[in-house]
Structures are given as structure tokens and as C-alpha cells.
Structure 1
Amino acid sequence: MSFRVAIFVVPVLVSLSVVTTSSAQESKSVSANENAKTLAGQPSRKPIMSSPKVIVFDVNETLLDLAGLKQSVGEALNGREDLLPLWFSNMLHYSLVETLAGEYHDFGDIGTAALMMVAEQEGIELTQDDAKAAIVTPLRSLPAHADVREGLQRLSEQGFRLVSLTNSSKIGVETQMKNAGLTDLFEKRYSIDQIKKYKPHPDTYQMVLDDLGLQPGEVLMVAAHAWDLAGAKSVGMQTAFVSRPGKTLYPNVQRPDVIVTDLNQLADVMAEAKH
């Protein structure tokens, strides 16, 4: 009798185990899918603190497509496009080194120096003139991402004041905006060369707040770089992350108030915020 009960119980337990495992896997799958939708396709609907008076935009990668610059850098490195992330991270790294050390060169000069460093590390011959030509001209001729002009126009029509804040030089950003056809959409174009400290140093964001005469909570910072938003958060700004391809959030700081895939989704979210 006990032998028959055991035979009956074992299949039931196995069946229950399969159901439990399947349910757990399904739950994990649903959770993963929801996270993927938030980061890869759907804007975060977490309400921002309040509707801002001014929206501040980062420029490079957030508004402008760096594909052309990356191509010219790859050509300067003998076609080694695999070295592009190393060059870009070096450029950002040494901009922060200069800020902390109390030094200042404009972003084009730092980009040129970073490119020469990578070339030397990899045994690639590259003159300073060739390195500068691979950086400065392409950097000032970047096209806007496809969603940018429409998204900015929608935000302007909603009544938001739009300004930009970039690590590029003042003359550099003026040229960038003109070549990208975006000059008319911005009230002001701020460059860190006005204060000679690179983002994400808090003083760069405070410079914008002081000039606008606004409190941090009245301003929204929009960027495709987690480090940029971390700096904005440090002074109390609201933040929005534009998840351009290849861009991810830094998990050790506060999450942005809004996460979108492009500026049209940002315009959708901000329309809701106003109501």
C-alpha cells in the first residue's frame, strides 16, 4: 500500500515542481520584458517633480550624431574603429583631469591630445596636425539626429524655454548649431569655456542657473550621458535621459526623473507634465 502511494506522490511532486519552476521563469521573463520596454522602447512614465520653466540640452550625442566624427577618428587610426571607445573615454577622462588640476584646454584640443595618446599606445604614426584635422572639423559639422528638430519644435510650441550646455567651446557650439540647422531653436547656447570647468563639475550647471535666475527644480537637464545627469542632479536639477544607442545609466547615482528614447518621446512626456 505504501509503495502505491509513493508511486502516486512522486509524479504529483514532479508536476508541482515543473509548474512552480515555469511560473518563476515566466515571472522573470515578464519582469525582464518590462525593464527592456522602459530602457529600449518606452519612455519612463514616472512623473517629474514639476513642469520646468527651462529645458537645458547637452549637445554632442544628445542632439548631434557623432557617426561622422567616429569615422574620421577611425581613419586616423588606420581603420581601427575598435579603438573609438578608448579614444572617447580618454577625451572625457582628461577633460576631468584638467578640471581637477586647474588647467584648461578646449574640447577639440583635448580630443586631439587623446587621439595622439591612443595612436602612440597602439604604435600608429599620427602627427598633431592630422589628429586635429580628424577631430575639429568633423566635430563642428555634425548633423542632428533625425528626431531632434521636430522634438525641439514641439517643446518650444508647448511653451518651454530651450537652452543648451556643452563641453565644446563657445565658437565650437555656435558653429555646430549653425551647421546642424538648430540655432533658431535655442534661446541661449552655454559653453563650459565661460567657466573653464568641464561637465559634470557642479559649477557648470550652477553657471546656467545663475544666468537664468532660476532655482534648480525649475530646470530640466536632458542628456544621453549618465555622467552629465549625475552632475545636474548634484545641484538639484530635474533630469531626463535620452537612451541613444549604446548609452546606459550609471547605477550608483539617482535615476533620472524621465527616461526616453528620443526627443519626440520627451515632448510627449512634457506635454503630460504640463497638465
Structure 2
Amino acid sequence: MNQPMPSRPSVLLFDVNETLLNLQPLEESVDAVLLENGASRLWFTTMLQYSLVMTVSGQYQPLGEIGAATLQMMAKNREVVLGAAEAKEALKPMLSLPAHADVRGALERFKAAGFRMATLTNSSTAACRAQLDNAGIADLFERQLSVETPAKFKPHRDVYQWAASEMGVPAGDCMLVAAHAWDVAGAAWAGMQTAFIERAGNQVFPLAHAPTFSASDLDGLFEQLAGK
């Protein structure tokens, strides 16, 4: 059951990978390297796991570096010889992912309705800039916020609180929009409103606060927020 929203959020913070951008080209590249269809999903989860290992240990490396390192780990488990340069080459599609079909139009509707919009991503600043430019949606955002600045990965609560501060509003005036349960959970525990976008293969985390809104795509979220 959705939680009642106390007020219309003034700022929408969008996760980028999978929420806005279609991961299929990246998944195909990783699957090809690991010689297994679907292995990319485990790789993505492993990359996130080690980003959190670094965060709780007080360490930081860009997500791309962690992604390449974990890809090498998984390759070794499959007796696939994969050097660091080859791993980074396999992950190059991450910088040129297409936007999901609903994204551009929905973002234009949000902007026209007066919502302030920014991205909040675990990707580096340079990677996020390339991703949004290549997807043709960079012009729709007021800010492109990256965990590179606080040097901690989502879902650490400091990241969400930092993002709200950067946008000049209290956390409760922000809504984190994401297709990942861990991201939505972290934002809610940090005091933000949340919207879970039901991209294929993703489910909400039962032990977290229920998202303020859930929608099958960004158009569905706009319809729910339009009357607020």
C-alpha cells in the first residue's frame, strides 16, 4: 500500500542506470565476455556489492573501475582470461546506453509541470555526462549529481542528504525516482519521498518503507503526480 505523500515534491532526483537508460547493450557485452546468457545480472549485483564494501570501508573508486574489477573476478571463476584493459573495453557500452522509450517524453512533461529535476547516480561525473549526452536527455536536467563528490555510493544516507543540500531543499521536498529497491529504500530511510519504477526484473524490498509511489514507467508516475 502506498504511503500518503505529505506534499508535492519540489525536486525529482532520478537514478540513471536502468531507471532512465536501457542496460541491454551492456548486458549483451558482459554476457559475451562471461560466455553465459544472463550472467550480466549477477555481474551488476556484484559490482554494487563491492561499491558498498568500499563505502563501508571508507574507500572510493569510480564505479567503472569497480565494474571492471568485478568483471575480472567473475571471468576468473569461469576460467576466462580477462585483463583489466579488456574488462574496461567490455564495459564501454555503459557510456552509450539508449534511454527507455518512455523517458524523453515523460521528462518533458515533468519539466513543463514545474518540477525541478536532477540526476543522482553512482556513475562518475564524466561517465554520467557522457551517458546523458549520448542518450539525448542531458538538456532536461538542472543538475547532474554524482556520488563522486561525497565519495560514497548509494544507498549511504549521506549521499541523499548531500543531494538535497546541493538542490537547496530539505530531504523531504525531494523524491528519488529509481528502478532499484535498494536505492528507493535508502532514499526513504534518509527522509526522501520515493517512486519505484517497475522495470523488468526489479521488485520492492519488503523490509523497507513502501515507496510513496510505484509505476510501470515514468508516464505512469507523471499521471500520479500530476494532481499533486
Normalising TM by the smaller chain, what interval? over 0.9
Mapped to 2, the partners of 1:205 and 1:216 lie a distance apart of 7
Mapped to 2, the partners of 1:227 and 1:49 lie a distance apart of 22
Partner SS, residue 144 of structure 2: strand
The residue that corresponds to 1:232 in the other structure is: 187
Residue 202 of structure 2 aligns with an amino acid whose one-letter code is K
Mapped to 1, the partners of 2:135 and 2:109 lie a distance apart of 18
Mapped to 1, the partners of 2:94 and 2:6 lie a distance apart of 35
The residue that corresponds to 1:148 in the other structure is: 103
Pairwise CA distance, 1:239: 0.3
| 1:136-175: CA deviation from partner (whole Å, max 9, x where unpaired) | x211100000000001000111110011100000000000
Verify: 1:139 aligned to 2:94, yes or no: yes
Identity of aligned residues (%): 45
Residue 127 of structure 1 aligns with an amino acid whose one-letter code is G
Mapped to 1, the partners of 2:34 and 2:167 lie a distance apart of 42
Verify: 1:113 aligned to 2:69, yes or no: yes
The residue that corresponds to 2:17 in the other structure is: 60
Report 1:74-153 matches (<5 A): 74-78=31-35, 80-135=36-91, 137-153=92-108
Partner SS, residue 239 of structure 1: strand
Mapped to 1, the partners of 2:38 and 2:25 lie a distance apart of 15
Q: Which runs of 5+ in 1 are unaligned?
A: 1-43
TM-score by length of 1: 0.81
Q: Which runs of 5+ in 2 are unaligned?
A: none
Q: Say which one has the larger Rg.
A: 1
Pairwise CA distance, 1:85: 2.1
Partner SS, residue 113 of structure 1: helix
Partner SS, residue 54 of structure 2: helix
Mapped to 1, the partners of 2:39 and 2:226 lie a distance apart of 41
Contact 2:109 2:222 in 1 (8 A): yes
The residue that corresponds to 1:190 in the other structure is: 145
Verify: 1:264 aligned to 2:219, yes or no: yes
Contact 2:2 2:211 in 1 (8 A): no
| 1:79-133: CA deviation from partner (whole Å, max 9, x where unpaired) | x123222211110000000001111110111000110000111211212111110
Mapped to 1, the partners of 2:187 and 2:202 lie a distance apart of 17
The residue that corresponds to 1:181 in the other structure is: 136
- CA-based RMSD: 1.2
Mapped to 1, the partners of 2:150 and 2:172 lie a distance apart of 22
List structure 1 runs of 4+ shifted beyond 6 angstroms: none
| 1:201-243: CA deviation from partner (whole Å, max 9, x where unpaired) | 0011111111122112211110000100111111110000000
- Of 112, 123, 126, the residue aligned with 1:171 is 126
Contact 1:76 1:130 in 2 (8 A): no
Aligned pairs, number? 228
Mapped to 2, the partners of 1:272 and 1:159 lie a distance apart of 13
Contact 2:160 2:171 in 1 (8 A): no
Residue 134 of structure 1 aligns with an amino acid whose one-letter code is A
The residue that corresponds to 1:73 in the other structure is: 30
- Of 105, 108, 112, the residue aligned with 1:157 is 112
Mapped to 2, the partners of 1:267 and 1:233 lie a distance apart of 19
The residue that corresponds to 1:253 in the other structure is: 208
Mapped to 2, the partners of 1:173 and 1:206 lie a distance apart of 20
